[in-house]
A and B are shown apart, each in its own frame.
Chain A
Amino acid sequence: MEQFLQVTFSGLATGAVFAIAAVGFALLWQTAGAINFAHGEFIVLPAVVMLVLTQQPVIGIPEFIPLIGGTQLVGPIPQLGIIAAFAITVPLMIFLLGYVFKRTMVDQLLEPGGDDIPLVIATLGLALVMREYLRITFGAAPQRFPSPFGNHVWNVGGVAITAIDVGILVVATVVIIGLQFFLNRTYTGRQMQATAQNQETARVLGIPVNRMVFYTFAINAALVTVAALLVAPVTTARFDGGISLGLAAFTAAIIGGFNQVRGALFGGFLVGVIQNWSGTYLSSAYREFIPLVLMIIVILWRPQGLFGRPEERVV
């Protein structure tokens, strides 16, 4: 029983990361009708940026990192450095992975009601470019990423619970609840949802559609930075880390429901737990196989995903 609880809890923690990543997929699909196959690399990039910020002085401001606290330089709060790096990285990523990505790629390739495939193919290419760029600039060797939650371990009823696991679960939960609240309970969030449902009608109602779409990309950029902060202490910072993460998140989003944030959430947790159960009770050779089989079954049985709603378009 202890083994089952241990495996399940660890799977939930892993699944929380998949969930945050999968929400990014769902958010972009819902609001902009875009699918980003570079999503895994979008998570790796902020992880690398944060790591570099904690390791090196910022160009031209050598005292900057000691001032904000490199991980090894601040005594009482060793996590301050990485948290400060996170604070710097969020706006940077909102600009780069939100604004620049939207303007230079999405706006050019995705027309309302048009074909999605060019953007899908372009993001596959973008993933390759980002991966090779990171390999050349950051290096190929994986590097340990400092945990923002420390390394404490609690033993609860024979189940080892690490601070990283708890941190991932808590932060992921807070972020997701906050996102749901924002989308459902705020004026801007409802405008974003209206934009997602029908851009033309939203425009007629006076909703600034372009701004709402940008907000979506900005939120997605912030989400991938949060995901990077949570996942990198476990996966290490490495240039090719986005492949498996992006695949797991995409699988999760498909299983849970691509057009529902709560579906992507559920899918994330489900994939994390199933991976661990498969590895433990069958063989680790089935860790990624079983979720993919589940994905195929879901597509055949319920194409909109377990929590998704059927979509139809008039052409």
Chain B
Amino acid sequence: MTEKRGNRLLALLAVLTLLIAACGGTGGEEGTTTSVAEEATTTAGEEAETTTSAAGASTTAAAGAECPHENNSVFLFAPYEENQPAGVNWRAGIEHAVADINNEGGILGCTVEVQFEGTQGDPDIGRQVVAEGVELDPYAILGTVFSSVTIVNMVEAQNAEIPQFVGAEAPDITNREVNGDNNFIFRTSFGGDNAAPKLVEFMLEEGVQKVDTIYKNDEFGAGGAGAHRDAMEAAGIEIGEEILVQPDQLDQSGEVAQLIASDSDSVFVYMTEIETGAFLDERTAQGLEKPLYGGDVLTSPASLELAQPGAGDGAKSHSNLAAGADVFADWRTAHEEFHPGIEGVDHNNIKGYMSVHYVKEMTERLGGFDRLALADQLHCATITVDDEPGVLLDVTFDGNGDLDRESFILEVVDGVGVVAASAPPLDNLSERGC
């Protein structure tokens, strides 16, 4: 019997290929791996033990100032994007903060323990990781950083009534009309909608009249770019081309060619590090000379290190937290001493660091470990550097979990983002739920 066996096999493999592609989904190809990173501080067995003991301890802690977890500790759970520079830096910041806090006696005398779990930057895996983390009964959840991951997993923390501090910047994350009136979500950097007015004001000062936008096709890119577009249009800046870039898309020659052909006078860039690095290289190769404006990522060391030397020069951004700013100089020195050889320190390191100190300060104000009270009291609260030096900058949380504070305008000079100006707080908390 003769059969076209080879062709049948090829057809089967084609189906497998489509399955693989489907697994990648809109979150990019990084999510097809099904395993979850285990760079945890405890073993699986220990996790179960912690969960059991913590369940009873939390109740006790709410009534007094006893440590909520065994061995006089307070347990935090930190999901992060271990395959992305943003996630790696977020984790580095948390590690540094936990060490600093424990060296000074912990939180209310309790040693801080943190367990890291990788989400692979994939929304589905991220939700699974946070769902499992919730079962460990942490006092707070620190992460995730990617908006596309956060917006999916934050419902788990909300349902469990656990405060969650995230590095994500998509506007919808703290929009109570969208997030199911989530009272447990807190940012460590501005949402795109609160960052946009500061950048737009700077763009107006620079004389920008018409701008093309190129952004990553995910929650972070689409949400952030949309908020900036709205702010630009409201300020009278005309919007030209709107160009999508797929997650992890490295060949952006077509997109850059479109930007060159456009009659706009400048370009707004809103992508994460990998796509930004590729964009800067292609922009240099094709000679796109229009001014570039963007958020933190455009001028972050992690992005610039992925591009050829000098590829980012001239780019300007509104930066939530500029690691090169003078105000962070001492912290940066300490961070580099804590993580010898660390490269690409950026706003995500600072965000991770701050997140633990927000937990510490508010817990100490409360005088005990009460998650509900922590979430409740943090809304509209102001924390100054005098209160808690680890917050690094005075900050006020709004009524939705977003925040307000000083920020920075950066320009890349000789491959480094340098502070060109500072942007004062918006000071509009009365319009933001306070």
* Residues of chain A whose beta carbon lies under 8 Å from any beta carbon of chain B: 2-3, 6-7, 9-11, 14, 35, 37, 116-117, 120, 124, 128, 131-132, 135, 139-142, 144, 151, 153, 155, 160, 162, 234-236, 238-240, 243-244, 247, 250-251, 254, 258-259, 275-277, 279-281, 283-285, 287-288, 292, 295-296, 299, 303-304, 310-315
Contact = CB atoms under 8 A, between A and B. Distances in A.
A18 to B, nearest CB: 11
A194 B17 CA distance: 30
B14 A295 contact: yes
Nearest to A243: B29
B309 to A, nearest CB: 8
Interface of B: 1-7, 9-14, 16-18, 20-21, 24, 29-30, 32-35, 37, 82-85, 87-88, 118, 120, 217, 243-246, 248-251, 253-255, 257-258, 260-261, 274, 277-278, 284-287, 302, 305-308, 344
Given A35-B13, A236-B306, A284 B255 contact: yes
Given A3-B261, A132-B35, A315-B1, A283 B244 contact: yes
B244 A280 contact: no
Contacts of A7: 253-254, 257
Nearest to A165: B285
12 contacts: A35-B9, A37-B16, A135-B37, A236-B277, A276-B254, A279-B251, A283-B244, A295-B17, A296-B14, A304-B6, A311-B7, A312-B6
Given A144-B277, A259-B6, A314-B2, 17 more contacts: A2-B257, A3-B258, A6-B254, A11-B251, A35-B9, A37-B16, A135-B83, A236-B277, A243-B20, A247-B20, A280-B257, A285-B244, A292-B18, A304-B7, A310-B4, A311-B4, A311-B6
Contacts of B9: 35, 116-117
A299 B14 contact: yes
B339 to A, nearest CB: 13
B34 A128 contact: yes
Contacts of B20: 243, 247
Contacts of B285: 153, 160, 162
B251 to A, nearest CB: 5
Nearest to A258: B10
A9 to B, nearest CB: 8
A166 B75 CA distance: 54
A131 B33 contact: yes
Nearest to A3: B257
Nearest to A280: B254
Contacts of B37: 135, 140
B202 to A, nearest CB: 28
Kindly list the 9 A-B residue pairs having the minimum CB-CB distance in the complex, ordered from nearest.
A280-B254, A10-B253, A311-B6, A140-B83, A303-B7, A160-B286, A243-B29, A3-B257, A140-B82
A243 B251 contact: no
Residue among B17, B260, B261, B274 with most chain A CB within 10 A: B17
Contacts of B7: 303-304, 310-311
B5 A247 contact: no
A280 B4 CA distance: 39
A280 B217 contact: no
B10 A313 contact: no
A240 B83 contact: yes
A284 B251 CA distance: 10
Given A140-B83, A313-B2, A314-B2, A6 B17 contact: no
A299 B10 contact: yes
B333 to A, nearest CB: 22
A160 B261 CA distance: 14
- Residue from the set B11, B244, B251 with the largest chain A CB neighbour count within 10 Å: B251
Contact of B83 (A3, A238, A281): A238
Given A10-B254, A144-B306, A275-B251, A315 B5 contact: yes
Contacts of A283: 244
